[in-house]
């Protein structure tokens, strides 16, 4: 959304998770092999008042939401374990650390499901989120606490909003 909207101007909504699945990606690099799991877990859902949305971006018959989330990145390595790093890259170290782009080493057919949230309202609203991996990087001089490669996943999220089907009780 291109409008500059403050969360203070939005209405915090109750929600329940209807369907939540990890994305999975098989990585096959000479030094990094395994399964990457990515999950964008919703933490807050806020309804944006229609008056704050530019006319060209308003949706018909469904509200507009801002969704706060926490991304979980996990990796199950099929490679040899190493000693865990004593520290992880932070701040400027993230910018200067040696890294390898692993995006092209993701095997075909990643699993990127639509996850579903029911948002309170009358009627309740079905909010679907889909997280899509854009780039996967390996910080080759670091290992995580399990002795596996230290990975960084850049992603985006697509959303779809519709009126929930009947039977979604408890969210009015």
* The pLDDT of residue 169 is above 70: no
Q: Is residue 47 part of a domain?
A: yes
Give the per-residue pLDDT at 171. 55
* The pLDDT of residue 55 is above 70: yes
Q: Which of 10, 149, 164 is nearest to 74 (CA)?
A: 149
Q: Is residue 95 part of a domain?
A: yes
Q: Is residue 171 part of a domain?
A: no
Tell which wins on pLDDT, 127 or 167.
Answer: 127
Q: Is residue 169 part of a domain?
A: no
- Mean pLDDT calculated for residue range 107-134: 92
Structural domain that includes position 34: 7-163
- Mean pLDDT calculated for residue range 13-34: 96
Q: Is residue 136 part of a domain?
A: yes
Total number of domains constituting the chain = 1
* The pLDDT of residue 49 is above 60: yes
Q: Which of 115, 118, 120, 151 is nearest to 132 (CA)?
A: 115
Q: Is residue 119 part of a domain?
A: yes
Contacts of 58 (CB under 8 A, 6+ apart): 50, 64
* Strand ranges (E), the chain: 11-13, 15-19, 23-28, 33-48, 64-77, 99-101, 114-119, 125-143, 149-163
10 Å Cβ neighbour count for 8? 6
Q: Which of 70, 66, 77, 164 is nearest to 124 (CA)?
A: 164
Give the per-residue pLDDT at 1. 45
Identify the band that residue 137 occupies on the pLDDT scale cut at 50, 70 and 90.
very high
Q: Is residue 172 part of a domain?
A: no
Q: Is residue 53 part of a domain?
A: yes
């Amino acid at each position: 959304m291109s409008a500059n909207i403050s969360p203070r101007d939005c209405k915090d909504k109750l929600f329940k998770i209807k369907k939540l699945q990890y994305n999975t990606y098989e990585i096959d690099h000479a030094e990094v092999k395994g399964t990457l799991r990515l999950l964008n877990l919703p933490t807050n859902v806020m309804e944006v008042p229609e008056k704050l949305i530019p006319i060209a971006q308003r949706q018909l018959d469904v509200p507009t939401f801002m969704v706060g989330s926490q991304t979980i990145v996990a990796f199950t390595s099929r490679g040899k374990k190493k000693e865990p790093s004593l520290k992880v890259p932070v701040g400027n170290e993230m910018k200067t650390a040696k890294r390898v782009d692993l995006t092209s080493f993701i095997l075909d057919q990643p699993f990127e499901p639509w996850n579903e949230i029911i948002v309170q309202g009358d009627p309740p609203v079905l909010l679907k989120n889909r997280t899509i991996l854009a780039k996967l990087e390996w910080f080759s001089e670091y290992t995580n606490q399990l002795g596996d490669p230290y990975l960084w996943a850049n992603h985006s999220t697509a959303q779809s909003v519709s009126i929930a089907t009947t039977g979604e009780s408890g969210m009015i």
